Structure 1
Amino acid sequence: MTASSWRHLLVWLHVVSSTAWMSGAAALAILLGLSRTDPAQAAAAVGMARHLDVYLLAVAANASTTTGLVLAWTTSWGLLHHWWVAVKAAITSVQLVVGIALLSPVLDALAAGGTPAPAQQVAGAAVMASAVAFQAWVSVAKPWSRTPVARRERARGRTRLPRAGTSLVAAGVLAPIGDVALTAALGFPAPLLEVVVLVVVGVARRRALRTAVAPVPAAPAPAAPPRR
């Protein structure tokens, strides 16, 4: 397969995983809300919510993050050269931190005790779904201008970032698929391959940019003919 074909698959996987992330967060908010409005269904609702979080929400969030970063690093868009890409990356980072550090541990405790979800847990899931929906709009509209990083690059004579090779793009497609299998086998989110791929692609991108901006030594001026 060509790099272009792998890139199309990467975009497709990013769209699918982002949609699954948004849908999963919306379903999570509905289940947690049900646990509050119907005490008789609280234990079942929070149990299903936890199952949804482990096997859909976390997997989709990891895949969406990985494919989004690989797309930014392997194409001419870059990660910090356009405000719309940088804003998406910032929102995604906040969502992952909040989801891993705050929402998921509370959800585990709720499922273990079979107790209704607190209002802030329901609100957190709803905000997550809304944030992914906003990112979808940003991806389509591509608002705002270039960042100061891009303007500095343009001043140095580089108006377009280099694209990565086929192997890095393919890795961005295959890693999330492999981690889905790992999660199913282990019973908990395991983005091991995705972390490795992000490190490899990030390092490769940094090296490519350094090579691209390396100054080219000027050719020596021809020696003046001797005077007679």
Structure 2
Amino acid sequence: MARIRLMIVDDHEVVRLGMRAAFELEPDIHVVGEASNGAEALAKISVLMPEVILMDVRMEKMGGIEACREIRSEHPQIAVLMITSYPDDEAVTASILAGASGYLLKNVSRTELLKAVRQVAIGQSLLQPESSQKAITQMNSLASHSTSIPGNDLTEREREVLALIARGYTNKQIAEALYLSEKTARNHVSHILEKLGLSRRSEAAAYAVEHKLTTPRRQNN
């Protein structure tokens, strides 16, 4: 019997150990490896060759949403199952846009976790239809939002913040990454939403992905 090759990505070692223990006695699932962040996961994929990746949403260095986007782009055959500690509609939408096959909370039962991995391994989606429709609606809206040059009204700092929003960063994480106060980061996010005519962070993330604004623009000297 072929075994599902599973990779666990979470920045907490205790969580990774707990998840690994949940799969150890399953004859059809084999944990091929672990990673502590998205960047490490990307570096290990070609060696571990997982079929399913159980990915934490928020991690240092590279969060799960950005990593999911990269993985699905480079390895479309791999199913990514996002997992997080608390419900977040914006993160769900961003995960869908990044290509995730499912979204779970960490308090899910062992039975439900095993079922989820098995389902995405055979190509099924665990995403609710209303969540998928919401993401599609946002993408269509953003695609026709403006005929002007995408992000042209944003300052260099705002583009840096927008790139981090697209990676799933919180205001606190944005502040730490750019050496700002959390209040300043929050103000930048508000200005970005206002300039783009958007109301939610998930919409800004979708806009950044759609218009390839996930890396800061270099200033001309």
TM-score norm. by structure 2 comes to 0.30
- More strand by proportion, 1 or 2? 2
User: Highest CA radius of gyration, 1 or 2?
Assistant: 1
Whose relative contact order is higher, 1 or 2, with alpha carbons under 8 Å and at least 6 apart?
A: 1
TM-score norm. by structure 1 comes to 0.30
- More helix by proportion, 1 or 2? 1
